[in-house]
A and B are shown apart, each in its own frame.
Chain A
């Protein structure tokens, strides 16, 4: 028996399925219609590819270590040495490829710790508010106020300058950005009725934070990660350039620029080529991040 209010319109098809593109189709369309994001994705994939298959691709794998070839020192870029050779005759192209391994390792190491930690604190602060929020966010502010290079200097001075310690130094500063980002998103999401609806349904704090709120942060996190990757590479290179990061003979882009710069301007390729390699990777991550941001329609 239908209620009289509804009888005359019960034919209205609100139970029929809505025909529209799914959100992933729309997102893919937005991504595809932005040429720079495609270029970014291509660059990032190429960097990851050469880093993984470095020993197979590199023309002279022995150049990655402490190899010396005085016959060919300071050779300009040629068919044999695509990017030229350095002061001890090692192939710069090979060293760049292996340098990407170090850079990507740094990215994975730093973001692998900083992102989960930052996201977790941001969720806590945004969800519980009050004192939790005060303590976490003020601590975050304090960490943000420390100049990154000073922090890295302090840490590598206490410990020794190497890849792992550089990674620790960067990680200790990096999580703050994720905490702030997630905190802001969660604060906005707390106004949505679904959070209260979950409470009324009897859901636990854990459920609301990780099953209801976190999925709404994922797109922002992924955009942030891809933008971050570029900056972590840059920061790592800067540390190595200052001698605080990766130590020779491990091929690192920042160290290569640093040593190469001693031979400027005659042997320009020794600093320029690794520099261009840094530029290439960062450009790729940034273009990809911008594309993802448009695609997922989030602000970071």
Chain B
């Protein structure tokens, strides 16, 4: 095909690290035609980012070694070009949007300065000159394209002053400054809340259409791909395992890996949805929270005086029965983690009553026995497991402090490892020797060690790949059944919660705006925010898309308006 704007042919790349060479890309071939949206999908470590960096030429060599293959951009082999020729293509030919909008900016320069610099250097490369006014004109035009208004304020802001969504928009604007023909997007919006992510994806789609761009979209999220691609490449272990049009991939995936990926995405609507029920024969109230408020003082000025209060949790009422899997959903900053920490006795409540096991929380929070009642599994096992301590040292901490003897500890550690499906030989390993899923299993084992009745799960799978997520969820279900646990599941991933929780509370700006049985909330959401949230979730089939609640653009912006910064 002559009309390919980008054609990667049989690219082989290996990395040489610590004296060992490992192959990361094997015969990768990708082409993007003019005006086409192509997605590259794969799990972390599959080689998608390496491919992206090879195309834009930022692969560090060494340790990377490009063994063979060509990357043709408009029939020009990029790998054969010298540095100067290649730099000319950057920005004006191929442009890139990176994943983390905050890390992509220089925090000490204003947005204007950073955008001007981009134009300045590309002007030098291309060999034209224009003054400050000319550059500023181009910048404001670009900001209009990414649907930002109030240019003056944005341009004079530092990155930290903008909200995540705004930063991502500015970042897209930066990529568009020099009218590129091909846009490469590396998981844009992944770091953002689902409602903001939805806006960013819509924006990208409209840009591609209006500006006639080609798009190479790199992601791990199948739901996002369905909205963003005409054609899809599936990548596994550095190999393209399947490529086809979007319809074909979603309707009849051929490769085993693609099928697995599809099946591991929790469905939001339809027959495959699992309705979880509380299977306990006797259901009694284990947690009851009435009128809970928590505010954090904001201290400013030279004397650190309290100048205002940040109301993180406002008048929250919750009732959780034994045997429930109670989901607390909400976007970042909605107060869901604060509630969890109050329940764990880590923060005191500002006001309100909390009863756990029919006893006031305040009376028991400091007691050792309270630790045997409630425990927590954190989001990121890389941070919640001390990397300088072995698995058995980690697991023995709670045991040691509740009076187990050394021999009892050893037996209990082995028992715990078996419970979470890890071989007992792992007890002498350090966390970095384990994979992400294994680490999370160790964290679960630690939470189980004192035989608690309640476990708070703070986004336990969000740091894991979707394939691993399934196995961890599976383990949690098995443990719940075996040990008769009650879970409080905190997450922003609503499709996972739909299939995992029997009850759910939706949090919005510190308040619970809606709570009830998961099934009812999803089939008939009442609060506008819930509707906006559910409708923003990327799904993997048209049928599910049609079942989502309908929210107009105006309604959505009306409810979300207040959450945006500045």
B partners with A: yes
**Which residues of A line the B interface, CB within 8 A?**
1-10, 12, 14-15, 17-18, 20-23, 25-26, 29, 192-194, 196-204, 207, 211-212, 215-216, 218
The answer to whether B266 has its CB under 8 Å from any CB of chain A is yes
Which of A8, A194, A215 is B385 in contact with, Cβ under 8 Å?
A: A194
Which of A12, A194, A196, A204 is B470 in contact with, Cβ under 8 Å?
A: A12
The answer to whether B147 has its CB under 8 Å from any CB of chain A is no
* A198 close to B468 (CB less than 8 A): no
Q: B466: nearest residue on chain A (CB-CB)?
A: A9
Give, as a whole number of angstroms, the nearest-CB distance from B293 to chain A. Answer: 22
* Residues from chain A with Cβ under 8 Å of B385 in the complex: 194, 197
* Residues from chain B with Cβ under 8 Å of A211 in the complex: 389, 393
The answer to whether B190 has its CB under 8 Å from any CB of chain A is no
Which of B266, B346, B368, B432 is A5 in contact with, Cβ under 8 Å?
A: B266
The answer to whether B378 has its CB under 8 Å from any CB of chain A is yes
Of B117-125, B165-173, B179-187, B394-402, the stretch lying at the interface with chain A is B394-402
Interface residues of B, count at CB 8 A: 58
Question: Given A8-B260, A215-B388, is A26 in contact with B18 using a C-beta cutoff of 8 Å?
Answer: yes
Contact with A along B474-488 (1 / 0, CB 8 A): 110110010000000
* A201 close to B401 (CB less than 8 A): yes
* A12 close to B467 (CB less than 8 A): yes
Of B49-57, B327-335, B353-361, B434-442, the stretch lying at the interface with chain A is B434-442
Give, as a whole number of angstroms, the nearest-CB distance from B325 to chain A. Answer: 11
Interface centre among A6, A8, A20, A194 (most CB of B within 10 A): A194
Question: Given A5-B499, A6-B473, is A200 in contact with B375 using a C-beta cutoff of 8 Å?
Answer: yes
Interface centre among B260, B274, B379, B388 (most CB of A within 10 A): B388
Interface centre among A3, A20, A22, A200 (most CB of B within 10 A): A200
* Residues from chain B with Cβ under 8 Å of A196 in the complex: 346, 378
Contact with A along B426-467 (1 / 0, CB 8 A): 000010111111100101001001100000000000000001
Inter-chain contact total with CB atoms closer than 8 Å: 129
* A6 close to B433 (CB less than 8 A): no
The answer to whether B264 has its CB under 8 Å from any CB of chain A is yes
Question: Given A12-B471, A193-B384, is A201 in contact with B433 using a C-beta cutoff of 8 Å?
Answer: no
Question: Given A12-B467, A14-B468, A197-B446, is A5 in contact with B386 using a C-beta cutoff of 8 Å?
Answer: no
Segment 467-526 of B: residues with Cβ below 8 Å from A? 467-468, 470-471, 473-475, 477-478, 481, 499-500
* B471 close to A200 (CB less than 8 A): no
Question: A287 to B346, alpha carbons, bound, how many Å?
Answer: 45
Which of B368, B422, B477 is A3 in contact with, Cβ under 8 Å?
A: B477
Q: A9-B471, A192-B383, A201-B371 are in contact. List 6 more A-B contacts (CB 8 A).
A: A1-B478, A6-B470, A12-B471, A21-B20, A198-B397, A203-B400
* A5 close to B473 (CB less than 8 A): yes
Question: Given A22-B433, A29-B18, A204-B401, is A199 in contact with B346 using a C-beta cutoff of 8 Å?
Answer: yes
Which of A12, A20, A204, A212 is B468 in contact with, Cβ under 8 Å?
A: A12
Give, as a whole number of angstroms, the nearest-CB distance from B54 to chain A. Answer: 23
Which of A20, A23, A192, A207 is B397 in contact with, Cβ under 8 Å?
A: A207
**Which residues of B line the A interface, CB within 8 A?**
18-20, 260, 263-264, 266, 274, 344, 346, 368, 371, 375-376, 378-380, 383-389, 393, 397-398, 400-402, 421-423, 430, 432-438, 441, 443, 446, 449-450, 467-468, 470-471, 473-475, 477-478, 481, 499-500
* A194 close to B383 (CB less than 8 A): yes
Q: A216: nearest residue on chain B (CB-CB)?
A: B388
* Residues from chain A with Cβ under 8 Å of B441 in the complex: 15
Question: A17 to B468, alpha carbons, bound, how many Å?
Answer: 14
Interface centre among B346, B385, B467, B471 (most CB of A within 10 A): B471
Question: A10 to B500, alpha carbons, bound, how many Å?
Answer: 17
* A15 close to B383 (CB less than 8 A): no
* B474 close to A14 (CB less than 8 A): no
* A15 close to B375 (CB less than 8 A): no
Give, as a whole number of angstroms, the nearest-CB distance from A34 to chain B. Answer: 13
Question: A207 to B398, alpha carbons, bound, how many Å?
Answer: 11
Which of A14, A22, A218 is B471 in contact with, Cβ under 8 Å?
A: A14
Which of A17, A25, A201, A204 is B398 in contact with, Cβ under 8 Å?
A: A201
* A193 close to B380 (CB less than 8 A): yes
* B421 close to A15 (CB less than 8 A): yes
Question: Given A193-B383, A202-B371, is A18 in contact with B264 using a C-beta cutoff of 8 Å?
Answer: no
* B264 close to A4 (CB less than 8 A): no
7 interchain residue pairs of minimum CB distance: A6-B474, A14-B437, A215-B388, A201-B398, A193-B384, A3-B477, A202-B401
Give, as a whole number of angstroms, the nearest-CB distance from B144 to chain A. Answer: 39
Give, as a whole number of angstroms, the nearest-CB distance from A93 to chain B. Answer: 41
* B433 close to A197 (CB less than 8 A): no
* B376 close to A197 (CB less than 8 A): yes
Can you list 30 A-B contacts with CB-CB less than 8 angstroms, sorted by A residue number? Answer: A1-B481, A3-B274, A3-B477, A5-B470, A5-B500, A6-B470, A8-B260, A8-B264, A9-B260, A9-B263, A12-B467, A14-B435, A14-B471, A15-B437, A15-B441, A18-B434, A193-B380, A198-B397, A200-B376, A201-B371, A201-B397, A201-B446, A202-B368, A203-B400, A203-B401, A207-B397, A211-B389, A212-B386, A215-B388, A216-B386
* B378 close to A197 (CB less than 8 A): yes
Q: B398: nearest residue on chain A (CB-CB)?
A: A201
Give, as a whole number of angstroms, the nearest-CB distance from A188 to chain B. Answer: 12
Question: A4 to B401, alpha carbons, bound, how many Å?
Answer: 38
* Residues from chain A with Cβ under 8 Å of B384 in the complex: 192-194, 197
* Residues from chain B with Cβ under 8 Å of A4 in the complex: 274
Give, as a whole number of angstroms, the nearest-CB distance from A201 to chain B. Answer: 4
* Residues from chain B with Cβ under 8 Å of A216 in the complex: 386-388
* A3 close to B378 (CB less than 8 A): no
* Residues from chain A with Cβ under 8 Å of B386 in the complex: 192, 194, 198, 212, 215-216
Which of B400, B422, B446, B450 is A15 in contact with, Cβ under 8 Å?
A: B422
Question: A193 to B459, alpha carbons, bound, how many Å?
Answer: 13
* Residues from chain B with Cβ under 8 Å of A193 in the complex: 378-380, 383-384
Which of A9, A20, A23 is B467 in contact with, Cβ under 8 Å?
A: A9
Question: A214 to B436, alpha carbons, bound, how many Å?
Answer: 25
Q: A24: nearest residue on chain B (CB-CB)?
A: B430
Interface centre among B386, B389, B446, B468 (most CB of A within 10 A): B386
Give, as a whole number of angstroms, the nearest-CB distance from A251 to chain B. Answer: 42
Question: A198 to B386, alpha carbons, bound, how many Å?
Answer: 9
* Residues from chain B with Cβ under 8 Å of A192 in the complex: 383-384, 386
Give, as a whole number of angstroms, the nearest-CB distance from B27 to chain A. Answer: 23
* Residues from chain B with Cβ under 8 Å of A199 in the complex: 346
Question: A193 to B421, alpha carbons, bound, how many Å?
Answer: 23
* Residues from chain A with Cβ under 8 Å of B260 in the complex: 8-9, 12
Question: A193 to B346, alpha carbons, bound, how many Å?
Answer: 13
* Residues from chain A with Cβ under 8 Å of B435 in the complex: 14, 18
* Residues from chain B with Cβ under 8 Å of A201 in the complex: 371, 375, 397-398, 401, 446, 449-450
Question: A29 to B401, alpha carbons, bound, how many Å?
Answer: 39
* A14 close to B438 (CB less than 8 A): yes
Question: A199 to B263, alpha carbons, bound, how many Å?
Answer: 38
